Structures are given as structure tokens and as C-alpha cells.
């Protein structure tokens, strides 16, 4: 099983600032099959990024993903008020699929 470790656990930033979230894998993620999801309280997760760097339909271009192998990054170039939420990475290249434990992006 691939273990995903996200850092930091919490990121305290102000609107307009840049957010950089990390996701490390215990072994190489097949074909960069790595996704990022956003979850707000009381709502289901929303797909942001897939295949490590492709934006899902309707996702603003301030969200970008990068990385390969065992190290991946989600960057939010300028935080909007609606971006404060919890973010999860997930690998879907091998079974069982696994999620990271999440990074909470909170308002400073």
C-alpha cells in the first residue's frame, strides 16, 4: 500500500497570498496518477487536479499541480476567500487507492 504524507497539517495564510501544499509518497506513484481534492465543511470533496498537473473541468487557473515519482505539490497562486478549506491528495495508480491525511488552509 502506498502511504501519502501531506505537509504541513495546517497552513495559515491571508487572502491574496500563495499557498504551497506538499504530498509525499512512500513509493513511486504509477504514471503520476495523483489527484488533489478540496473539501469544505459539510460538503463532498471536489476534484481539483488529476494526473499530477491537469486541472479538472471548471477549476480556476490559480490552482496548479506539479511533481512526479514520490513528491507532489499543489499551488494556489493567490488565495481567494473561497479557497480556505481542507485539501487531500490521492493516488489512484495502484490498489488500494490511498489518500493523504489532509492539509487545512485557514485564514490567518
- Cα atoms found within 13 Å of the Cα of residue 107, Cβ hemisphere only: 6
> How many chain residues interact with another protein (CB under 8 A)?
26
Question: What b-and-e string marks burial along 68-94, b requiring 16 or more CB atoms within 10 Å of the CB?
Answer: eebebbbebeebeeebbbbbbbbbeee
> Which of 20, 39, 53, 64 forms a contact with another protein (CB under 8 A)?
39
CB of 72 to another protein, least distance (A): 13
Residue 3 to residue 6: CA distance in whole angstroms: 10
Sign of the alpha-carbon dihedral angle for 55, 59, 60, 62:
negative
Considering the complex, state which of residue 13 and residue 56 has its C-beta at the smaller distance from another protein: 56
Considering the complex, state which of residue 17 and residue 98 has its C-beta at the smaller distance from another protein: 98
CB of 89 to another protein, least distance (A): 10
Footprint of another protein (CB under 8 A):
1, 30, 33, 35, 37, 39, 44-47, 50, 56-57, 88, 90, 92-102
Amino acid at each position: 500500500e502506498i502511504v501519502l504524507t501531506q505537509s504541513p497539517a495546517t497552513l495559515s495564510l491571508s487572502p491574496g497570498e500563495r499557498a504551497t501544499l506538499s504530498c509525499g509518497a512512500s513509493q513511486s506513484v504509477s504514471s503520476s496518477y495523483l489527484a488533489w481534492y478540496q473539501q469544505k465543511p459539510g460538503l463532498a470533496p471536489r476534484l481539483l487536479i488529476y494526473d499530477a498537473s491537469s486541472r479538472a473541468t471548471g477549476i480556476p487557473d490559480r490552482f496548479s499541480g506539479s511533481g512526479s515519482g514520490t513528491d507532489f505539490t499543489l499551488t494556489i497562486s493567490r488565495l481567494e476567500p473561497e479557497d480556505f478549506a481542507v485539501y487531500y491528495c490521492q493516488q489512484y495508480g495502484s490498489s488500494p487507492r490511498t489518500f493523504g491525511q489532509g492539509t487545512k488552509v485557514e485564514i490567518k
